[in-house]
Amino acid sequence: MLAFQVQSDGAAATLTDIPLPTPGRGEIRVAIRACGLNFADLLMQKGTYQDTPPTPFTLGLEIAGVVDAVGPNVSNLTPGHRVAVYSGQGGLAEYGVFDATRAVHLPDTCSFEDAAAIQVAYGTGHIALSHRARLQPGERLLVTGAAGGVGLTAIEIGKLMGATVIAQARGTDKLAVARAAGADHLIEADEDLRSRVLALGGADVVYDAIGGDVFKAAFRATNPEGRLLPIGFAGGEVPQIPANHLLVKNLTVIGMYIGGYLKFRPDVVHNSFDTLFRWHAEGLIKPHISHVLHLQDVEKGMTLLRDRKSTGKVVITL
């Protein structure tokens, strides 16, 4: 079977022919139909992601497909079941073997492409805003990098939770995408973020995917008792947080990594996915997928992420 693998440390990922895997105890084999691409895939290729597997490994964090075979001690899934799996790796391949506890049944109303686009971006946004930041109706939510896969979902979820959403992104096209997702106020990336947000009343919750100077400006525009979620560092610089300023304004900086919950609170992820797929079935959320590519074109998809030429999600189909 074909798999987009990193063969050794520091080596570029390549499309490689590898043996078909066999599921072991508690595992399922899935015929993969779609896999969502994420910025983490780029970091894994460089070996700089916080959860990079040992080589060789196959890239791809979130998949949807059909159960093809099950190993011993698997009772809730059988061949033919449609599933979504937050796999953490192994998704950019024709088949994958995964821990059965990571799989959730996929409603017939949800396409494989949508299911592959929902898990990481929407799961991160939903757990961050609901479980971690406790976003309340009427609060102001600032989303930076708002036209990216994670940013757009934060806009949608923030609106569903009753917040007023301020979206920051670069360029009129990306701001238009943020507006279509439900943003109430738009800020161009070249504008003074701090002054614009303060003029709108300040931010109660910050959902930042950029880091660097953008986080610093958002930090200074956060209201007393505000909560800040440093979700990612697409700008390349991990922000250094002045603890004395936290004290003055009684601010809270909240860590959030969805993969970590699978290790110590998997129920948080499963409950979130149950909610998200229900919202999808009810028409309350719809992932924005800017590009759908075949596995043979996965490097093109990676380039779209690297060069920030995509909006929403890039999905690879098989």
Local confidence pLDDT in tens for the 318 residues of the chain: 999 999 998 888 999 999 999 999 999 999 999 999 998 899 899 888 888 999 999 999 999 999 999 999 999 999 999 999 999 999 999 999 999 999 999 999 999 999 999 999 999 999 999 999 999 999 999 999 998 878 999 999 999 999 999 999 999 999 999 999 999 999 999 999 999 999 999 999 999 999 999 999 999 999 999 999 999 887 778 888 989 989 999 999 999 999 889 889 999 999 999 999 999 999 999 998 999 999 999 999 999 999 988 888 999 999
What is the structure's pLDDT at 194? Answer: 98
What is the structure's pLDDT at 199? Answer: 98
Name residue 22's beta-bridge partners. none
Q: Fill in the amino acid letter for 11.
A: A
The verdict on whether omega for the bond into residue 239 sits within 30 degrees of 0, i.e. cis, is: no
What is the structure's pLDDT at 215? Answer: 96
What is the structure's pLDDT at 49? Answer: 86
What is the structure's pLDDT at 309? Answer: 87
CATH class held by domain 2-119+259-317: alpha beta
The CATH 3.40.50.720 domain(s) of the chain lie at 134-253
Distance, CA of 170 to CA of 146 (rounded, Å): 9
What is the structure's pLDDT at 116? Answer: 97
CATH code of the region 134-253: 3.40.50.720
The CATH 3.90.180.10 domain(s) of the chain lie at 2-119+259-317
Q: What angle is formed at CA 130 by the lines to CA 119 and CA 76, rounded to 5 degrees?
A: 45
